Amino acid sequence: MQKVSFFKSIHVKFVLVYILLIVIAMQIIGLYFARELEDTLKDSFIESIQQRVDLLEFSMRAEIIKKRGEEDPTIEQSLRTVLYSVRSEDINEIRVVDTNFRILATSDTNKQSIVGQRSMDTNVRRSISSETPFNTIKVDLQKKDRIWVLASPIIYQGEVLGAIYLESNIETVFEQMSEINLILAGGTAMSLAITVILGILIAQTITRPISDMRRQAQAMAKGNFSRKVRVYGNDEIGQLAIAFNHLTNRLQEAQSTTEGERRKLASVLSNMTDGVIATDRKGRIMLINETALRLLKVPRELVMHRPISVVLGIDSEYTFEDLIHMKDSINLDFSSPERNYILRVNFSVIQKETGFVNGIISVLHDNTEQEKIDMERREFVANVSHELRTPLTTMRSYLEALADGAWQDRELAPSFLNVTQTETERMIRLVNDLLQLSKMDSRSSDLNKELVEFNKFFNRIIDRFEMSRSQDVHFLRLLPEAQYFVEIDTDKLTQVIDNIISNALKYSPDGGNIRFGCIVQGGLLKAMISDDGMGIPQENVERIFDRFYRVDRARARSMGGSGLGLAIAREMIEAHGGAIWAESEEGYGTTIFFTLPIELDEAGEWD
Ligand code: ATP
Ligand code: MG
């Protein structure tokens, strides 16, 4: 913030105003006072002189009209005696002049030589001729003093006898005046000094809280709300300071509320599993959360303030205007040959009550799994329908043939009926398998677990197959002597092993070998069933556990398989906490492995 310069500060202004007021007041008072005083002093000076002149005039008149004898002193002598007697400090000189303007006497002892000369003074002449007194103020050229000159006629019975001429030193009055003026000036200076000090003090009481408030406002702008303005009194400024402190508190509260809200919103946004993008009214990204960045696999600095349609890669299909009116969600397919990756995007408009669009919010969701599930579901339904249709169409054609008369044929009829029966059984098997899968999907099938010794359990299943086999296949058991205890649902695991062995038998040539193995690895029991049959192409090995998957449909169907056996096996093994996988080489054979957790407590002796 800009600093207030010294000359612009309230402080200086305040003091200046005070000084000006005092100066003006003193000037007005001084001027008026001096004028009045001067007039009064002058008047009283003149009056005192005038009184003496009146007295003098009286004596002069008496002397002039007096009848004189031979021994009597001359008129000049007696006038001089009178004049000498009235001499005083303030009177410089008094002269008496007769009607012919001849000087009869002077009070100045040094100027007795002028007696008998004619007076040149115009005041004297005018006062004798007009019979009225005249006075002026003259400057004594030698002493540079001002002198007051009066010429007053001596009148006796309406006749002018002469005039009194008087010079008095009025300078004393002016000296007195300038002394008084000096006192006044001193007073003014003193009161000015006091005013300045008072002004500074009073201004301080105003400016200090104000600059305090200024500092406070500056601190507030920097986010520091802890400062408080000091309240000096309960005047307007004190109340302003109180209001200011109140404002500070409110601002602090408001700020912490908004800060809290902001933090809440930020944590909600950053902890959301969905991506959120908000734009301004032109569609430029203003806010994007971490999830959205992660889903889009872009750095923040690259997408901020860029158009949302460009960032989502849909600018060729949709304008921002289209997105505003978009009701349904759209899928963005970022899949690569290696990996499926699909995002679902929803748009909603940020709108004011007036309908003005302020921007849009889009929510991104990773839809890859959902899409995969949807696809699998569609595939599954298609597979099921296809698998059911095949036996049904076969049955229909045989039944049609029977209806058309084949039933009467003693040789054909039993074989036709046999086919329909086989197909029906196949359908029943298929439906049973499907039911079992759906049970496993809905997790409604609880495992009926019991503790069994695995080798014994495994051997019993192998025995069953060995006794009932129709092909020329050799069974090789590579099972250890030790006892491995597992907690399993024996019915379900029997089904799993049955399916693996029957697959091995199905795809083994005559004279082939089927090997059975079992080892313990990392706390898990690992079982293995291996054949040296036709094998599975490398790229299909993983898929044999998918529902309805068969490597070669035509071949498999001819062998009565629907492709659900291994899918069911995987569900069951996983439900037991194990895993199942296959290793195979085309033309050389296939090995199926599965693991089961071992019960260590009961299997103490095998280690
Ligand atoms: P189902 O078991 O439902 O009667 P299926 O045997 O065809 O039918 P799966 O047991 O799930 O189905 O096997 C899936 C596919 O995997 C088979 O169709 C077959 O192509 C292949 N397969 C499984 N085991 C072997 C094996 N030992 N050798 C070669 N191919 C196999
Ligand atoms: Mg099978």
Stated length of the chain: 607
| Residue 479 backbone phi and psi in degrees, to 5 | -95, 140
pLDDT of residue 606: 46
Alpha helices in 547-602 (DSSP H): 553-558, 565-575
- Residue 555 DSSP one-character state: H
Q: Is the CB of 547 under 6 A from ligand 1?
A: no
CA distance 375 to 362: 25
Q: Ligand 1 center to residue 561 CA distance, Å? A: 7
Q: Is the CB of 383 under 6 A from ligand 1?
A: no
Which residues lie across from 332 on neighbouring strands? 343
pLDDT of residue 578: 94
Q: Is the CB of 544 under 6 A from ligand 1?
A: yes
Contacts of 559 (CB under 8 A, 6+ apart): 506
Of 479, 422, 420, 484, give the one whose Cα is nearest residue 452.
Answer: 484
Q: Is the CB of 500 under 6 A from ligand 1?
A: no
pLDDT of residue 8: 76
Which residues lie across from 474 on neighbouring strands? 513
In this prediction, the residues of the chain whose per-residue pLDDT falls under 50 are 603-607
CA distance 592 to 518: 12
Residue written as token pair 């001819």: 558
Residue written as token pair 């933090």: 263
CA-closest residue to ligand 1 atom 4: 561
Angle (CA) 420-421-424 rounded to 5° is: 85
Q: Is the CB of 564 under 6 A from ligand 1?
A: yes
CA distance 536 to 581: 13
CA-closest residue to ligand 1 atom 25: 503
Q: Is the CB of 531 under 6 A from ligand 1?
A: yes
**H or E element, residue 595:** strand 589-597
What is the 3 state secondary structure string of 244-292?
HHHHHHHHHHHHHHHHHHHHHHHHHHHHCCCEEEEECCCCEEEEECHHH
pLDDT of residue 603: 47
| CA distances (Å), origin 471, targets 429, 500, 505, 511, 514 | 23, 16, 8, 8, 12
User: β-pairing, 342-351 with 330-333?
Assistant: antiparallel
Is the Cα torsion angle 321, 322, 324, 330 positive or negative in sign?
A: negative
User: β-pairing, 513-521 with 357-366?
Assistant: unpaired
Q: Ligand 1 center to residue 499 CA distance, Å? A: 8
Atom of ligand 1 nearest to the CA of 560: 4
Of 433, 14, 413, 422, give the one whose Cα is nearest residue 210.
Answer: 14
Angle (CA) 561-375-390 rounded to 5° is: 35
pLDDT of residue 59: 87
CA distance 123 to 134: 6
What is the 3 state secondary structure string of 365-382?
EECHHHHHHHHHHHHHHH
CA-closest residue to ligand 1 atom 23: 503
Long-range pairs, 209-212, Cβ under 8 A, ≥24? 209/237, 209/238, 209/240, 209/241, 210/10, 210/237, 212/241
pLDDT of residue 11: 79
CA distance 527 to 592: 8
pLDDT of residue 170: 86
pLDDT digits (tens, 9 = 90+) for 7-43: 777 778 888 888 898 889 888 988 898 899 889 988 9
CA distance 493 to 486: 11
- Residue 59 DSSP one-character state: H
DSSP per-residue codes, 332-352: EE---SS---EEEEEEEEEE-
Of 316, 315, 347, give the one whose Cα is nearest residue 330.
Answer: 347
pLDDT of residue 562: 82
Beta strands in 25-108 (DSSP E): 91-98, 103-106
